[in-house]
């Protein structure tokens, strides 16, 4: 790792096609007492209507399209994109909040957003994990299992899968999500190994000594 990593929080990106389980795995990681103390999740802004199980301010921060565009004009987003007619954006303020709380940042974003974040922050501060399902057909089954997904929406998302898979090799790590607990164990192992790298370990040592 570069010494630039000490200048601010490290950013962990988790991406994967719809139905790959990225949201479920990120939530599970942040329920772990050990990692909850070390990583904070960024809550994205969106103009999409929230699903029944989603809570405003917790899963997403919902705003109107006009509010979103005004925020984008103020450069309030680290990255943002329009997906299936709705805007999604990662607030730039999460970096300062993480620095203040002495935590790293977890971003659950798509491949285009990941590319933007890497370009802005540099690979020395960004580490990325791409999630796969064990078989291509598993994505279709998982999407069809969502009661909120209509047939046309599922078809659009499946077409998008091919685009997302083409970016897979840009990621630092690839985790196959066959079983949630096994995939979670692999993600924790990746983060644990990163903690033992020289610059990360020394950064934690310096902060503890303040």
Write down the domain spans for the chain. Answer: 3-42+103-208
CATH class of this structure's domain 3-42+103-208: alpha beta
pTM of the model as a whole: 0.83
Q: What confidence score (pLDDT) does residue 124 get?
A: 73
Per-residue pLDDT of the chain (210 residues; tens, 9 = 90+): 333 444 578 999 999 987 788 999 999 999 999 999 999 999 999 999 999 989 999 999 999 999 999 999 999 999 999 988 999 999 999 999 999 999 999 999 999 999 999 999 987 789 999 999 876 555 555 566 554 556 677 677 777 778 888 899 999 999 999 899 999 999 999 999 988 886 676 666 566 555
User: What is the structure's pLDDT at 79?
Assistant: 97
Q: What is the pLDDT of residue 170?
A: 94
pLDDT score at 198: 64
Counting every residue, how long is the chain? 210
* Residue-level pLDDT at 39: 96
Closest CA to 78 of 4, 13, 30, 163: 13
* Rg (alpha carbons) of the chain, rounded to whole number: 17
**In the β-sheet with 11-15, what is the strand arrangement from edge to edge?**
39-41, 104-108, 11-15, 126-132, 173-176
Tell me what pLDDT residue 122 has: 84
What span, in angstroms and rounded, lies between the C-alpha atoms of 44 and 32?
21
**The pLDDT value given to residue 57:** 95
Q: What is the pLDDT of residue 161?
A: 78
pLDDT at 1: 37
pLDDT for the residue numbered 44: 96
């Amino acid at each position: 790792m570069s010494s630039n990593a000490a200048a601010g929080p490290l950013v962990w990106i988790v991406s994967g096609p719809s139905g790959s389980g990225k949201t479920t795995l990120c939530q599970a990681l942040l329920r772990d007492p050990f990692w909850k103390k070390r990583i904070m999740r960024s809550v994205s802004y969106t103009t999409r209507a929230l699903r029944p199980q989603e809570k405003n301010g917790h899963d997403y921060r919902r705003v109107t399209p006009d509010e979103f565009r005004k925020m984008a004009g103020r450069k309030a987003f680290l990255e943002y994109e329009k997906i299936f007619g709705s805007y999604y954006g990662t607030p730039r303020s999460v970096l300062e909040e993480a620095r203040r709380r002495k935590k790293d940042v977890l971003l659950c974003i798509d491949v285009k957003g990941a590319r933007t974040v890497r370009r802005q922050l540099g690979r020395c501060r960004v580490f990325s994990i791409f999630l796969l399902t064990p078989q291509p057909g598993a994505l279709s089954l998982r999407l069809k299992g969502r009661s909120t997904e209509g047939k046309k929406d599922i078809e659009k998302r499946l077409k998008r899968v091919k685009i997302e898979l083409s970016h897979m090799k840009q990621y630092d790590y690839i985790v196959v999500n066959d079983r949630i607990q096994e995939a979670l164990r692999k993600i924790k192992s990746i983060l644990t190994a990163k903690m033992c790298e020289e610059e990360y370990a020394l950064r934690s040592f310096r902060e503890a000594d303040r």
